[in-house]
Structure 1
Amino acid sequence: MVKVVNFLKFLSIVLFLGILLMVYAYLPVQVSLETAPGGYQLHKETFFYYTITGFIVINIVLLAFQKLNEKRLSGDPLKAWMRGLGFVVNIYLTLIIGFIGVINNTTHLDPASFAYLNYLGPFLLVAWFVGLFYLVFSKR
């Protein structure tokens, strides 16, 4: 189970990098981070480097959290849950980057029809923590 979760985490990293590079290729020079006109904007390269840096920092923090707490966890399912948290967070970050790409490509895509991407990430996180409660409180 842990090996499968590690593979999924690797795939989520590859997916994030692929989506980021695709979005970066289609971004205008000034990237808007809000749907409202005149909102907060960054230069395309600044956005790219901030995103990569944030992704690396978040994954390092999650890896440190995993290493600190994995020794205390008993059982393969709880260890898989802990490692899978990185997978879920990476998918959430991928959805955010995809939505930023949609916001900045309004000539071909309507951002309102992709608003579900903003709600899918928190839903995944809540479902993941519900899974933790299930693992902890279920009979073995």
Structure 2
Amino acid sequence: MTTVTATHLGTTAPSRRADRAGRGLAAFAALATSGAFVNGVLMTISAPDDRLFVEGWRVSSFAIFAGLFALLAFRPRRSAGVWELLLAGKSALVVFGVTAGRVPEARPAAVIDFALVVVVAAAYVLCRGWLAWRSTPAA
């Protein structure tokens, strides 16, 4: 019987099944964020002048996040720091959304961002995203 140690688990590439599942989750996050981008474009088109810049900024952020999620789906162990940056950024948005008080958009956005944190964290573990920090990337 083979015993897998924490050290072995932390330094070897994931199984093919885990890698596919993790990449699928990252691709799902990219698609979901792309949907938010499309919705944001529609909101920006109809935004009043006093909200135009904020809506445009939000839309560009959706595009950047969608691109980063797609990058992780394509190259999960060759994007050092991207996993952690996305997890930190989305976690900060969850905290901000929960503490924003009575801002109408805050709570629903926090729930969506929390779901993305869960999806990305699962993908990070399944793909062993921490291996991106190695000097020679895992397969």
Query: What TM-score results when the alignment is normalised by the length of structure 1?
Result: 0.35
User: Which structure has more RCO (C-alpha within 8 Å, separation ≥ 6)?
Assistant: 2
Q: Which one has a larger percent strand, Structure 1 or Structure 2? A: 1
